[in-house]
Structure 1
Amino acid sequence: MDKDKTPVLGFVGLGVMGGPMCRNMAQKHPGTVIAHDVYPAAFENLEGTGARWAASLPELAEQSDIVFLSLPGGPQVEAVCLGENGLLSGAHKPDVVVDLSTTTRQAACTVARALAEVGVGFADAPVARTREAARRGELSIMVGASPALFNRLEPLLRYIGTDLTHCGDVGCGQVVKLANNALVFENTLALAEMMVVAERAGVDPALLLEGVSKGSGDSFALRNHGPKSLLPREFPEKAFPPEYAVKDLSYVLELAEQVGVSARVAKLAQSYYDATARNGWSGRYFPSVIEVIDRDIPLE
Structure 2
Amino acid sequence: MTTQRIGFIGIGMMGHGMAKNLLAKGFPLTFKANRNRSNLDDLLSAGAKEAQSNADCARASDIVFICVTGSPQVEEIVYGKDGLLSAARPGLIVVDTSTAEPASSAKIRADLAAQGVKLIDAPLARTPREAEEGRLNTMVGAELEDFKALEPVLKAFCENIFHVGPPGHGHVLKLVNNMMAMSFAASIAEAFAVGAKAGLDLNKLYDVVSVGGVNCGIFQMMSTKMLKEGDLTGMKFGIANGQKDLRYFTHLAEMQPVTTLMAEAAHQSFVLANNLGFGDKMIPSLFEAQEKAGNLKIVPR
- Calculate the TM-score normalised by the size of structure 1: 0.89
Aligned partner of 2:55 in structure 1 is 58
* 1:125-169 alpha-carbon deviations (Å, 9 max, x no partner): 000122222222222101100000111111111122111111111
* 1:266-293 alpha-carbon deviations (Å, 9 max, x no partner): 1111111111111121311122111222
1:218 Cα shift? 1.2
Query: Which of these residues, 34, 37, 40, is aligned with residue 38 of structure 1?
Result: 34
1:84 match: secondary structure:
coil
1:230 Cα shift? 6.6
Correspondences of 1:75-154 after superposition (within 5 Å): 75-90=72-87, 95-154=92-151
Aligned partner of 1:213: which letter?
A: S
Q: 1:154 and 1:210 mapped to 2: Cα distance?
A: 42
1:45 Cα shift? 5.7
1:203 Cα shift? 4.3
1:41 match: secondary structure:
coil
Aligned partner of 1:292 in structure 2 is 289
Q: 1:213 and 1:152 mapped to 2: Cα distance?
A: 42
Q: 2:130 and 2:176 mapped to 1: Cα distance?
A: 19
* 1:156-201 alpha-carbon deviations (Å, 9 max, x no partner): 1112211111111111001110011111111111112222333444
Structure 1: gaps (5+ residues): none
CA gap of 1:182–1:158, structure 2 versus 1, over 3 A, is: same
Query: Which of these residues, 211, 215, 220, is aligned with residue 218 of structure 1?
Result: 215
**Equivalent pairs: percent with the same residue?**
33
Aligned partner of 1:178 in structure 2 is 175
Q: 1:38 and 1:24 mapped to 2: Cα distance?
A: 18
CA contact (8 A) 2:278 2:289 kept: no
1:225 Cα shift? 2.5
1:88 Cα shift? 2.6
Q: 2:121 and 2:65 mapped to 1: Cα distance?
A: 10
Query: Which of these residues, 186, 190, 197, is aligned with residue 187 of structure 2?
Result: 190
Aligned partner of 1:133: which letter?
A: E
CA gap of 1:45–1:110, structure 2 versus 1, over 3 A, is: farther
Q: 1:276 and 1:91 mapped to 2: Cα distance?
A: 41
1:91 Cα shift? 7.6
CA gap of 1:133–1:287, structure 2 versus 1, over 3 A, is: same
Q: What is the root-mean-square deviation in Å for CA atoms of aligned residues? A: 2.2
1:296 match: secondary structure:
helix
CA gap of 1:91–1:150, structure 2 versus 1, over 3 A, is: closer
**Higher mean Cα deviation, 285-294 or 5-14?**
285-294
Correspondences of 1:233-252 after superposition (within 5 Å): 233-235=230-232, 240-252=237-249
Total equivalences in the alignment: 292
CA gap of 1:16–1:229, structure 2 versus 1, over 3 A, is: farther
CA contact (8 A) 2:93 2:118 kept: yes
Aligned partner of 1:32: which letter?
A: P
1:7 Cα shift? 0.3
Q: 2:266 and 2:161 mapped to 1: Cα distance?
A: 28
CA contact (8 A) 1:14 1:70 kept: yes
- Calculate the TM-score normalised by the size of structure 2: 0.89
